[in-house]
Structure 1
Amino acid sequence: MNTFRATIKEGSLRYEDVARILGLDVATLIQFGLKVGFINLDTCMAICNLLDVSFFDLFPSLDDMRPELGKDAELEDELPFIYALFEKTENHPKVLGCGIDPDLRPWYVAVHLTSGVERRYRLSSVEKNRLDNAMTSAKDTKGYFVFHADCQTIILRRSAVQDVRFSNAMSYAQFSSDERAFAATVVLPNSPFPAVTGMTADDSSPGGHGSPLYDLINIARAGGDLPAFIRLPEEEELRFLQIENMEVLEIPVGLTIPGFYDDDEDDGQEVPETLLLMEAMGTA
């Protein structure tokens, strides 16, 4: 577990404030506060420095590994012990339970599609391993690969994959909430460019329009056939987006978690089970 959400609220900070200072996208920090997804150790240390808290205070479930450094110790004094903690694979389940990627290397994936379009993402080592295993064990190209990357859920049609490359170093377009908080990206085989389309976030509350995107992710994860069109209710109109034979659909996390960007709310947002399954943190 981590105390990030409670810690910044105690300091009267907003996710936007922390993201701006650290040069991160706000969605990365909101996910971390909601215990969805993983952040890397460098980001953890930057957060600790900004909030002036011990690494072990931010991650109390690791308290039994806290070094005895004395009351005058600073965060830098903890670093050798933190790196030693990460080096031991037996500690990785606890590290994962805090929402930290135990792999200190960054991971990227480049997906070259049969249409000629290439999509690149940064992803955690957990999602990298899951995608690696899914591709290794695939007996045919029916269905979809579903993974979480760049604050998005990616639905990738297996038959559209021509080549996939994992690397620890790669240039890529980082996800931006300013540009795509409520806009999905779809790659169709008959189009040379990805299409970005604005959408209304899922709303499963009484009187809401339902959860078409969450349902779509569930169908893809279960290996079912996706519909030819996505039904997209909006405030004063109804739209349908054609996704038949789509190669990739990128759904920002803000579209599937109601109130995702409303970090002033006292009550935590309800996180769909599908996203929790993507990168479940647990409470180690």
Structure 2
Amino acid sequence: MKMYHNLRMLIKHPLMLVAALLIGWGCLPLSAQNATVSPQLGNLLAAYTHQSNEFGFEGGYGSYWQHNQLPITVTCSDFPTLSKDGVLRNHTGNFLYYKPVGSKTDKEKFLFVTCTAPTYLSIAMPKGYNITSYKIVIHDGLTPQDTVALNPRMPKLPFARAINWKFGEVDKSHIRENKEEKGQYIDPVFRRNEYVEINKDTPGLRYTIHREGNLGNILYFCFSGNRRWWKSAGVYLELVELTFSAGNTFEYPLTPTIEHENFVSLSSPSLTGKIIFHKFSRCFV
């Protein structure tokens, strides 16, 4: 019965089930491993939200990236709310696989866009994993030709460089739930050493943030662009590299719950040719 409940709870949480199976098969050793985020290694999905001005979704931007082989997800939101497990909800369309104008290769780049509200990004793994380091390199590489090509996707929010932009890591406690009413868009408190300011007058530069330690299974970042100017800002996620281990212990309640209030009874003749005596007892699963 205990094994049944364990399996049942894992099935309800597919990422946990995948992680458990991969560890059991030896595909994910408990020692430190490396992983990267790129268009070539994962799938980008779009999700519509309840926001009245979801121009990103309308323009073909995505909001949820899933690694092809590892239980790693990257999500974004202009109006962040967190689930009880700390995962970003209320996704908004701020990711795009994009091939720059004049590119000599067929590879697409991972474009991260923000508009009127500071946009949050989370990198998440299931409970039981521990991210031990990360390195993120962003490239302020959109050219005037690129902005001309991209502007038709969100014509009401054309790209511009109205003010300096900000990008960096944010502690969970410093995430601000932006409000669409009255344009209450406020920058979070960035971590002091994991933060960069992108100068509007020097395009083309690359910026790097990194950190090591026992970082947990979810990381949060924020990209603040032109905000109240109603203009878009965009950078390439040129490198997102993680190291992680799968040896963290965690507790998860496995108390059974009744999912059906109406009881069901079945009767069927037992054609065995024998009389079977058995004591039946009530059992809830």
TM-score calculated relative to the size of structure 1 = 0.29
Name the larger-Rg structure. 2
Q: Which structure has the highest strand share of the two? A: 2
